[in-house]
């Protein structure tokens, strides 16, 4: 019990910078449900400015490891390595896992902290049976391929539970590293290659490993244990967090504007107007895909983002007071999001290329999400009274 209580005060930084996909929202929702409130969001600039020093745990979620590495650069990657070596905990999922692994003889200049081969890297990958457009990523003189997507089974000790996989690797790791293995597929598993080939590639190999490096640890996962629809997988993640000792002080407090009363309502309503219009526009997009870096984004991912934003804004509508970092810039990002979507709609109707607009859209969406979630967690941490005072100052 004490460990659980202590874990709640962990300072957790989630990477949402260049290359991060939308799946970081799953971490946010799951951590929120588990009542972790010291949740912060980092991009490559924050890492480069030494922000990692303030965290117990750094999460590198799903996305495009090529873009993440490019964004962080050698200096940023080096700072991540130092963070772990000095005692920090790195949790990588999917892209975050690939980024940390050295899985071939001539690896990309990424983190390369763990020498563990993966089963889904080959010079001649098996043929795709579906989703040709996203089952394969070129890497050096070979390819990383994705045998399956969706729900599957993992085993830890004697326990079997389900978790979703969206590109993460099966790892060939020694027993002392292994936390769980891929143990089976289920009715919701989507095979991207031949079923038997997928079984040979995946089953019996590591889905999650723990590797001590210096004073810290890396937890590297293929499946998305943070996915909010998989409560047992979330519990597994929770158990891992409970093993980490909270030592960090958290990042310095950001300057905030305290919005309250009619001013807050006007601000939230103006954001809701733009986000809702964006949702309408995003719903109207059909079968659009954008290749940004090595990552293929489908239009429904944008819709997921926007839906989550709208839910969050609806929650914030009920607040009497809200600390916000730079409300005007968040207002601009909401307008930008709507503008980019409108542009994509018009251009795509004429069959024109929209990748540049999609990239700008994703950027705006991330910035707005980051700002709103920052406000949300600040509120949760501080418990502001409706008169604008912080009740922590009264206790």
Partner 1 sequence: MDNMYTEYYLVVDLATGTAEEIELEEEFVQEYVGGAKLNMALYEEHKDGEPIVLGTGLFTGTLVPGSCLGVITAKSPVTGKVAHAPFSWGAGAELKLTGYSFVVIKNAAEAPTYLWLHDEIADFVDASALWGKNVWDAVDIIRDEQGEDRIQVLSIGKAGENKVTTAQIVNNYWGDGDRFGFGALFGAKNLKAVAMRGMGELEIDDADAFIEKTEALLGVVKKQIAGKSGFSALDFANIPAALKAAAEKQMHRVEADFNNPLPYKFFLKYREDPTTMASTKVEEPGVLVSDPIGYAALGAAVAPEDAAEVLEACFKLGLNPVAVAGKLTAKDKAGAIAELEKMAESSKADAFDAVLSPFAPASERAEAAYIAGICPVLAAAAEALNAEALAELASIGTGLDFDADAFKL
CB 40 to partner 1: min, Å:
29
- Residue 218 DSSP class: E
Q: Which stretch binds partner 1 (CB under 8 A): 49-57, 140-148, 279-287, 353-361?
A: 279-287
Q: Taking a C-beta distance cutoff of 8 angstroms, is the pair 213, 113 a contact?
A: yes
Give, as ranges, the residues between 339 and 358 that touch partner 1 (CB under 8 A): 341-342, 345
Among 281, 312, 316, 368, interactor with partner 1 by CB under 8 A: 281
Closer residue to partner 1 (CB): 82 or 283: 283
Largest Cα span, the chain? 65
Q: Taking a C-beta distance cutoff of 8 angstroms, is the pair 333, 278 a contact?
A: no
User: Does 283 participate in binding partner 1 (rule CB under 8 A)?
Assistant: yes
Residue 228 phi/psi, 5-degree rounding, is -65, -15
Give, as ranges, the residues between 9 and 48 that touch partner 1 (CB under 8 A): none
Q: Which stretch binds partner 1 (CB under 8 A): 89-97, 115-123, 237-245, 271-279?
A: 271-279
CB 278 to partner 1: min, Å:
9
Among 178, 210, 273, 380, interactor with partner 1 by CB under 8 A: 273
Separation of alpha carbons 172 and 174, rounded Å? 7
Closer residue to partner 1 (CB): 248 or 275: 275
CB 22 to partner 1: min, Å:
18
CB 277 to partner 1: min, Å:
7
Q: Taking a C-beta distance cutoff of 8 angstroms, is the pair 366, 302 a contact?
A: no
Number of H helices, E strands in the chain: 11, 17
Q: Taking a C-beta distance cutoff of 8 angstroms, is the pair 263, 63 a contact?
A: no
Beta-carbon contacts of 332 under 8 Å, excluding residues fewer than 6 positions away, are none
User: Does 276 participate in binding partner 1 (rule CB under 8 A)?
Assistant: yes
Separation of alpha carbons 249 and 234, rounded Å? 25
CB 324 to partner 1: min, Å:
20
* Token output for 58: 């750094």
Closer residue to partner 1 (CB): 102 or 273: 273
Q: Which stretch binds partner 1 (CB under 8 A): 31-39, 79-87, 277-285, 353-361?
A: 277-285
Separation of alpha carbons 191 and 134, rounded Å? 13
User: Does 229 participate in binding partner 1 (rule CB under 8 A)?
Assistant: no
DSSP characters over 55-68: -SEEEE-SB-HHHH
Binding footprint of partner 1, residue count (CB under 8 A): 15
Strand 57-60 and strand 89-93: pairing? parallel
User: Does 284 participate in binding partner 1 (rule CB under 8 A)?
Assistant: yes
User: Does 279 participate in binding partner 1 (rule CB under 8 A)?
Assistant: yes
* Token output for 292: 């940004």
CB 133 to partner 1: min, Å:
25
Closer residue to partner 1 (CB): 142 or 284: 284
Closer residue to partner 1 (CB): 235 or 283: 283
DSSP characters over 288-356: -EEEETTEEEEHHHHHHHHHHHHHHHHHHHT-SEEEES-HHHHHHHHHHHHHHHHHHHHHHHTT---HH
Give, as ranges, the residues between 302 and 321 that touch partner 1 (CB under 8 A): 310, 314
Closer residue to partner 1 (CB): 42 or 361: 361
Q: Taking a C-beta distance cutoff of 8 angstroms, is the pair 326, 371 a contact?
A: yes
Q: Which stretch binds partner 1 (CB under 8 A): 7-15, 122-130, 191-199, 274-282?
A: 274-282
Residues that bind partner 1 (CB under 8 A): 269, 272-273, 276-277, 279-281, 283-284, 310, 314, 341-342, 345
């Amino acid at each position: 019990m004490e460990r659980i209580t202590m874990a709640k005060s962990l300072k957790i930084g989630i990477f949402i910078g260049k290359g991060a996909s939308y799946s970081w929202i799953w971490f946010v929702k799951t951590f929120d449900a588990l009542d972790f409130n010291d949740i912060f969001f980092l991009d490559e600039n924050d890492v480069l400015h030494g922000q990692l020093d303030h965290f117990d745990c750094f999460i590198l979620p799903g996305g495009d490891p090529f873009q993440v590495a490019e964004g962080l650069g050698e200096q940023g990657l080096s700072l991540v390595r130092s963070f772990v070596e000095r005692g920090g905990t790195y949790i990588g999922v999917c892209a975050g896992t690939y980024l940390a692994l050295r899985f071939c003889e001539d690896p990309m200049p990424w983190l390369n902290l763990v020498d563990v081969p993966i089963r889904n890297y080959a010079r001649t990958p098996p043929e795709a049976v579906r989703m040709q457009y996203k089952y394969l990523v070129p890497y050096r003189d070979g390819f990383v391929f994705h045998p399956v997507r969706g729900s599957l089974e993992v085993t830890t000790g004697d326990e079997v539970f389900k978790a979703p996989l969206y590109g993460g690797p099966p790892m060939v790791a020694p027993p002392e590293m292994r936390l769980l293995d891929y143990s089976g597929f289920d009715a919701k598993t989507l095979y991207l290659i031949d079923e038997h080939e997928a079984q040979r590639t995946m089953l019996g190999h590591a889905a999650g490993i723990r590797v001590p490096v210096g004073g810290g640890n890396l937890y590297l996962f293929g499946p998305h244990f943070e996915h909010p629809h998989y409560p047992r997988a979330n519990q597994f993640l929770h158990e891992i967090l409970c093993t980490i000792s909270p030592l960090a002080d958290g990042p310095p407090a950001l300057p905030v504007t305290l919005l309250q009363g009619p001013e807050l309502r006007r601000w939230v309503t103006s954001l809701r107007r733009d986000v809702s219009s964006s949702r309408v526009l995003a719903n109207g997009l059909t079968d659009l895909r954008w290749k940004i870096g090595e990552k293929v984004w489908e239009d429904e991912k944008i819709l997921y983002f926007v839906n989550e934003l709208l839910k969050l804004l609806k929650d914030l509508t009920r607040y009497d007071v809200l600390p916000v970092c730079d409300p005007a810039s968040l207002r601009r990002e909401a307008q930008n999001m709507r503008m980019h979507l409108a542009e994509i709609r018009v251009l795509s109707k004429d069959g024109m290329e929209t990748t540049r607009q999609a990239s700008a859209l994703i950027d705006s969406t991330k910035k707005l999400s980051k700002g709103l979630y920052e406000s949300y967690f600040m509120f949760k941490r501080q418990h502001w009274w409706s008169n604008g005072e912080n009740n922590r100052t009264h206790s």
